[in-house]
Chain A
Amino acid sequence: MSFASSMIVSSPQPAAVATRRLAAVGYQAGRQLAACAILLAAWEIVPRLGLVDPVFLPPFSTVVAAWWDLASSGALAAHGAASLSRAFSGLAIAILIAIPLGLLIGANRRLGEVLDPLIEVFRNTAPLALLPVFTLILGIGEVSKVTMVVYAAAWPILLSTVTGVRTVDPLLIKAARSMGLGPSALFRKVVLPASVPTIFTGIRLAAAISLLVLIAAEMVGARAGLGYMINAAQFNFQIPEMYAGIITLSALGLLLNVALRRIELRLSRWKDA
């Protein structure tokens, strides 16, 4: 944006201004990437110097080469697609279940009082501890893994929705009531829009959790997916491939978080100041 606007402004030396701005942007990006660059350099050098066993921690360049092989063979795309489709379908189902339920619990004080202790118990039960239960009941196929994601992702969404509904500024409710809004219009026009940013924070957390939980589930029992790929690579002693899988995973998580944070900022623009 700064680059484009500097081109439009009719300053005496637009090119010079643009260059300076570009340099500033580059400098900032450089600072932010410095820590990453140092880490990667260390990853490259430390195994080469023999400070760690390069069999267990191959140099970064070897990992990149392995990643390239995996990517060009289509294996990475296949495993990635398997994981993402599970994570997204689980997340979508969790959203469809948890938001309406959260709205109901948040709006209904009595229901909330009854269900709050139950929610506390389930929320504090590690989802992975329930994986054997899901596998027992649903088998080792897709259903149990997606169910696992649904279960893990539903809690943050449910809790943030309940919080969102319960923490709407009472003054706004009073103002709307004084205008003659009935309970249902009040809910649609005040409570719901006021809760959107809080609900979306829950969705963002849930997205991160769903990927996390899915990978673990895939490591325990699956025939495709990044979790399976990483685990299988380790079993078969394809160590560079294992690291390639891990890097792919963290890049995916990072991208997902950035994208969701963008949407979140958009939705809560009005909350500024």
Chain B
Amino acid sequence: MLGRTAHGIHWMFRYLERAENTVRLLDAGFHMALTRDLVTSEEEWRSVIQTAGLKKDYEKAHASYSGVQVWNFILRDKANPLSVMDMIDNCRTNARLARNAISEELWEGLNVAWMEIKEMFSKPITQRNLGEALSLVRNAGTLVQGSLEGTMLRDEGYAFARSGTFIERADNTARILDIKYYLLLPSLAHVGSSLDTGQWDTVLRSVSGDRAYRSLHAARIDSRGIMEFLILDDRFPRSLAFCYSELRDNLAELARLHGAEGECNALMRETDQNLSETSIEDILDIGLHHFLLGFIAQNRAIAGAFANDYRFVS
């Protein structure tokens, strides 16, 4: 396969994953804001913007935090350097680049979803149709992932797609966890208070893990349990441990198909080992923030080595 085509498939799935995760984050924020009074709801929207890493860009465009401004900014605003619409556009552009290496169903599924999203996002999203707008993006993700599973040959193309999904997802989960924990809970005095419980609930919702967590932990919301769940529980598909077990398999498959390991495999093993040999106590000892920053950097290093090993660019 061409390096450029591999790059196209990989980034098609990275952008798709990022769009999906951004939408989950918005959905959690929206849910939270609905249950708050006006002042705390403004705080909630501020925190959504911060978690999305858009504080600077947002404040250049707007002086205040209101729900309708925030979701339009994140979803479709031209002032946002990477809105959800841009992510979906980029996802499709990469799919076009790799058009002859992905299945027809996969392409058509994405293309139809893109048309619907484009149509809907061409006008401001109101409170009334926010839910529908968010579903459209989430459903696009589900549809494309389903087509991939059901129709793609299990060759290198598939592994480039899957590795894109899990590199991006690991990054996104780590960021959400990091920002929520450190930026939004300035004082440890909050721990155990009702605000705290609500915030943790939002963290779980942001990665669509609230139901799964509750089923495992019988509705006991405690910060340590949630951290352990999102970082180390390899049964939950958005946890770091799960992402890395998938990434490990796909990178190993690519190495097998290419008959040689690259730098990315070595880096991968290191990070993977860190995850599997670490307990939540160890993480709290070195500090969650410190741990997550280290993880995000390692994840990025793997992505860089990966692009290099498989000649994404000349």
Same complex: no
